[in-house]
Structure 1
């Protein structure tokens, strides 16, 4: 495991929200991070689909960790702003969020994430996020 992977995994393990959601780190690469989360009974909205808060939470974290993957040792990152477009109900067994860096910078990083609902191996694109991260 690389130093960057170790740093991201250690940081992820300190996020109690990800633990609450049952989220896991699936992939880490420079400028790209994938997070999976089951659609649990406690993360549904009133119509039975995965709540937008679940999609936002794992999308924001995937995007943030994609930014952190390009930052020097000792750096941390925080979300300055994040926008989400919900495109389809999140119906399935789990959600997958793929975060990526759009534009790396020293003061701000523009990031994005796509979120898919997965059911029986089939993925459906349910949300897109775009935002700005700042080194702290």
Structure 2
């Protein structure tokens, strides 16, 4: 197994355990050391009252992308948990899908700081920024 395969498997196995992400249909698109990209398709599971992507779904996607980017930098036998995050919503969209790219800014032994950029991708493939996030994670022992 290549180092890339090991990272992909680590992230995918953890993502598979998240009931909310399974329910929303989140897919893993890319894994690199310090970077994870996820996709969230538009559906009635992720909308607010005006039929746009709900801010809670956008925040959750950003949290997971940043968290898994952090996980790629955590020691074997460790997971990460979110201590805090802040999201700025830039625009509202419907249809298509959201993509979140999480990146590690700094990985320490006690905290990991990440960012995530969310873009909307429409049916023609046009991408537009819709949110940015900054996050603090804490490595914790894996308990499963």
**C-alpha displacement of 1:42:** 2.3
Structure 1 residue corresponding to 2:93, chosen from 90, 115, 122: 90
Give the structure 2 partner of residue 3 of structure 1: 6
1:81 lines up with 2:84 in the alignment: yes
1:114 matches 2:117: yes
In the alignment, which of 48, 65, 69 is matched to residue 66 of structure 1? Answer: 69
The RMSD of aligned alpha carbons is: 1.0
Deviations along 1:49-91, one digit per CA (max 9) or x if unpaired, are: 1111111111100000000001121110000001000010033
Residue-pair matches, total = 136
TM-score where L is the length of structure 2: 0.91
Gapped regions of structure 2 (runs ≥ 5): none
Structure 1 residue 121, shift from structure 2 partner: 0.1
- Runs of 4 or more, structure 1, over 4 Å off, are none
Aligned equivalent of 2:39, options 26, 36, 39: 36
TM-score (norm 1): 0.96
Structure 1: tracts of 5 or more residues without a match: none
Contact persistence 1:51–1:90 (CA under 8 A): no
